[in-house]
Amino acid sequence: MSKFCQNCGTEIDDNQTVCPNCGAGAEDTNATVEQTTTETANDPINSNPTPSAKPVSPKNIAILAGIIAAIVVVIAIISSIFGSGWKKPIKNYVKGMEKANSEMYLSAFPEFYADQVEDIYTDESLEKALENYEEEYGSKIKMSYKITNKEKIKKDDLQKVQKYIKSKYDTEVKVSKGYKVRAKLTIKGTEDEDTDTDTIYVYKIDGKWSYLDVSPSDAKDYLKD
């Protein structure tokens, strides 16, 4: 079996130790090649060893768990805010009256209604109402409410309210949701307090929850007249 010179590539007989073409020693050349191959195999850079997977530290696991928990909390908060948006007009209605803040009070109502009554419900008129409450209940008037029941309004009844708004206020709106809410409203002063149970109607009008003091049956009766 023949071999080849590692220096010039000339074929060499097995019993030859020197290349007849270039004079290089076949044994030296093979040894050099073998040594180079061995060094390359032992070289950690050139041999490209397969990296081993690093274990996840407890600290990183704790950080990841904290991030997941924070995300869950944010989702819960967002769900809570958007899921109870129908309460906001009730809150603005009560707190606007308590603070004699007409801007807050009027924000409880749909825009088409607030525009018509903004000259009636001013800071001054609300302050006058508070003075009347103070005569009856004492100073430092506080108003609060507690919702005791909520009933979803049917789609057919929402359409009646939508038609009512168009007829009475001459405006086109979309009434997409609504609730009939039972709430205990409390007025408390330094001398006395009183609690009444009232029915409040809130509707999602053009994507915004608003308080509108009209029931589906009232809307139906109005449309008949």
Q: How far is residue 38's CA from residue 36's CA, in Å, rounded to a whole number?
A: 5
Per the structure, how many domains does the chain have? 2
Distance CA 58, CA 123 (A): 59
Shared domain check, 118 and 202: yes
Going by pLDDT thresholds of 50, 70 and 90, the confidence category of residue 139 is very high
pLDDT at 155 over 50: yes
100 & 168 share domain: yes
pLDDT of amino acid 81: 44
Phi, psi of 182 (to 5 degrees): -100, 130
pTM value is 0.64
- Please check whether residues 103 and 23 belong to one and the same domain: no
Q: Is residue 115 part of a domain?
A: yes
Task: Establish if 182 belongs to a structural domain.
Answer: yes
Do 100 and 208 have their domain in common?
A: yes
Q: Is 177 helix (H, G, I), strand (E, B) or coil?
A: strand
31 and 94: one domain? Answer: no
What's the rounded Cα separation, in Å, for the pair 61 and 44? 32
**Residue 22: which domain range?**
3-37
Residue 124 pLDDT class (50, 70, 90 cuts):
very high
User: 21 and 97 share a domain?
Assistant: no
Same domain, 29 and 92: no
Tell me: do 106 and 207 sit in the same domain.
yes
Asked whether the beta carbons of 88 and 209 are under 8 A apart, the reply is: yes
28 pLDDT more than 50: no
Amino acid making up residue 37: T
Is 201 found in the same domain as 141?
Answer: yes
**Could you tell me the CATH number of the domain that includes residue 193?**
3.10.450.100
pLDDT in tens, 55-92: 667 777 778 777 887 774 445 444 444 447 999 999 99
Considering the domain architecture, whether residues 26 and 95 belong to the same structural domain is answered as no
Say if residue 153's pLDDT is above 90: yes
Q: How far apart are CA 60 and CA 43, in angstroms?
A: 33
CA separation, residue 208 to residues 81, 137, 165, 203 (Å) = 13, 35, 15, 8
